[in-house]
Amino acid sequence: KELLRIENLSAGVEGKEILKNINLKVNYGEVHVIMGPNGSGKSTLANVIMNNPEYTVTNGEIYFDGEDISELSTDKRARKGLFMTFQTPIEVSGISVENFIRTAKSSVEDKNIPILSFKKDLEKEMDKLYMDHSYASRYLNEGFSGGEMKKNEILQMLMLNPKLAILDETDSGLDVDATKIVATGIERFLNKDNAVIIITHHKELIKEVSPDYVHVILNGNIVKEGDYTLIDKIEEEGFNWIREEVK
Ligand code: ADP
Ligand code: MG
Ligand code: MG
């Protein structure tokens, strides 16, 4: 069953077209990987799916769970079950991890989330991510290492339980242990009622999660699609052979 369908999507910033006629379909239960060189438009695509107001859609539609969401605000999209992590996580001074996630959860679920039961659930999930409970009271992302930020994003995803999670990977390396923990968290999240799009350069991470489809973006276009074997080929040979094919 279809969860996300993007049709003929073009978007950019003022005076600059970044995405050119993107088509993408994600079904429930699937893991999709988006790869592409720096500056090819991967983060822009994620941002446009969430309707980040920095970007303007010039053409196309986005359907989510059977509904045209093209005109919906970021808030409303989040309430429908869309979730995205940021490539550069924002530091939010004065808001603890616990409060941030609880506030986000009560916003997307449109109900009050009791503090005590939330804390219990949060700590249970933190244990599985090998996060010390003290992180719950730290200010969001302030002084977090790369690995801690990533785990924190996975924690948010698991607590918010969206239908579609878009994970925009930081390029900074995760160590082997953190990669394993993050991959396990994604696997724990995945079920037949949701889906994940992973934007990444980390072969190690996607290896653990075993994607169903791989899409390659070059210059704002999805120019190649395939299965897991594409990742190995790109790892070995880079993107030039795809550029040649496109020509
Ligand atoms: P990727 O995530 O694949 O590295 P991005 O989507 O971040 O690529 O960027 C694609 C292109 O669009 C780049 O040339 C980038 O400089 C440009 N771009 C992205 N966001 C903005 C913005 N807010 N203002 C101006 N240019 C932008
Ligand atoms: Mg699957
Ligand atoms: Mg990016």
For the stretch 61-72, pLDDT in tens is 999 999 999 999
Q: What is the pLDDT at residue 15?
A: 86
* Alpha carbon of 23 to ligand 1 centroid (Å): 19
**Secondary structure letter of residue 179 according to DSSP:** H
β-strand partners of 31: 196
Is 40 touching ligand 1 by the criterion CB < 6 Å? yes
Close Cβ partners of 161 (under 8 Å, ≥ 6 residues apart): 189, 194
Give tens-digit pLDDT for 75-100: 999 999 999 987 777 777 789 999 99
- Please report the ipTM that was assigned to this predicted complex: 0.96
Q: What is the pLDDT at residue 165?
A: 97
Where does the pLDDT of residue 170 fall: very low under 50, low under 70, confident under 90, or very high at 90 and above?
low
> Which numbered ligand comes closest to the C-alpha of 29?
2
**Ligand 1 atom nearest 168 alpha carbon:** 2
CA distances to 65, 176, 181, 213, 242 from 25, rounded to whole Å, are 11, 31, 28, 10, 21
Where does the pLDDT of residue 169 fall: very low under 50, low under 70, confident under 90, or very high at 90 and above?
confident
The answer to whether 159 and 121 are in contact (CB under 8 A) is yes
Is 199 touching ligand 1 by the criterion CB < 6 Å? no
* Alpha carbon of 199 to ligand 1 centroid (Å): 14
| Residue of the CA atom closest to atom 1 of ligand 1 | 39
The SS3 of residue 49 is helix
Give tens-digit pLDDT for 197-228: 999 877 888 888 889 999 999 999 999 999 99
* Alpha carbon of 216 to ligand 3 centroid (Å): 13
Report the chain's mean pLDDT, rounded to a whole number: 93
What are the structural domains of the chain?
A: 2-90+163-246 (3.40.50.300)
Rg over CA atoms, the chain: 18
pTM: 0.95
